[in-house]
Amino acid sequence: MEQMERFLRPTPAIDCDHPSIIEKAKALTAGKDNNVDKAISLFYFVRDDIKYNMYVYLDALEHYRASTILDRKEGFCIQKAVLLVALARASGIPARLHHADIRNHLASDKAVEVLRTNVFAYHGYTELYTGNKWAKATPAFDLQTCQENGWIPVEFDGKHDAILHPRSVNGKLHIEYITDHGTFDDLPINDVLTSFDKLYGLKATLDGWNGLVAEEKARREAKQGAAP
């Protein structure tokens, strides 16, 4: 069990000792007497209550911290995976990050235009130790986003691996896993940013990406303002 201790500790990104993380974890796992049921509850909260939004700032550790994502209520795959790890650890469930490069064949045109590729480096998901083995859990795409785009939502039973689907609802090629970077007990922020820079030329594309962030923020604010 000693080797599992590092998957329960707080880290700079996975601040599972933050009051808001502890409070939310307790609320989500109340009345659940085993780690499988707890893990399921935590997964679906992060999947659906934390909305998927890839147009967020991504160039510093502060943008990935679990308590920040919980407060912001949105994020992209790495950020949501970090939050799920933090909530799991706060609930006494050993948890770690897993990173892989993926090709998203249905990525938005504007993202591909800025990044100049449909490959997404260091895609993040979670591994939870709920019994006698690790189970992969990918909370990236919320149900509403899946329904709006015709993607198959990831379902998690607390025991079996749950990763992104290779095809969409109508059979189109969707997610292709390319390079596996392995598992981590903390967010490897330097590796992530180095990979972003190598693949996208992060410094060169940052202004363009931050422009998309600003556009998306304005769009959402306008949508909220127009709501009855």
For residue 16, pLDDT beyond 90: yes
For residue 226, pLDDT beyond 70: no
pLDDT for residue 225:
63
Q: How many domains does the chain have?
A: 1
Residue scoring higher pLDDT (215 or 172): 172
Residue corresponding to tokens 């509850």: 41
DSSP 3-state assignment of 161?
coil
Measured from the Cβ of residue 174, the count of other Cβ atoms closer than 10 Å reads 21
pLDDT band, very low/low/confident/very high, at 36 (cuts 50, 70, 90): very high
Q: Is 4 exposed, middle or buried (0-12, 13-18, 19+ CB in 10 A)?
A: exposed
Rounded average pLDDT over 135-159: 98
Identify the domain containing residue 55 by its residue range.
2-226
Domain with 87 in it: what CATH number?
Answer: 3.10.620.30
Q: Which residues contact 131 (CB under 8 A, 6 or more apart)?
A: 35, 36, 159
Query: How long is the chain?
Result: 228
Least confident of 96-105, 122-131, 217-226: 217-226
User: From CA 50, how far away is CA 142, in angstroms rounded?
Assistant: 7
Please compute, for residue 120, the number of CA atoms within 13 A of its CA located in the half-sphere on the CB side: 22
Q: Are 166 and 151 in contact (CB under 8 A)?
A: no
pLDDT for residue 22:
99
Kindly report, residue by residue over 66-88, the tens digit of the pLDDT.
999 999 999 999 999 999 999 99
Kindly report, residue by residue over 172-197, the tens digit of the pLDDT.
999 999 999 999 999 999 999 999 88
For residue 227, pLDDT beyond 60: no
pLDDT for residue 72:
95
Please report which helix (H) or strand (E) contains residue 26, including its range.
Answer: helix 19-29
Instruction: For residue 129, give the nearest of 80, 84, 96, 164 by alpha carbon.
Output: 96
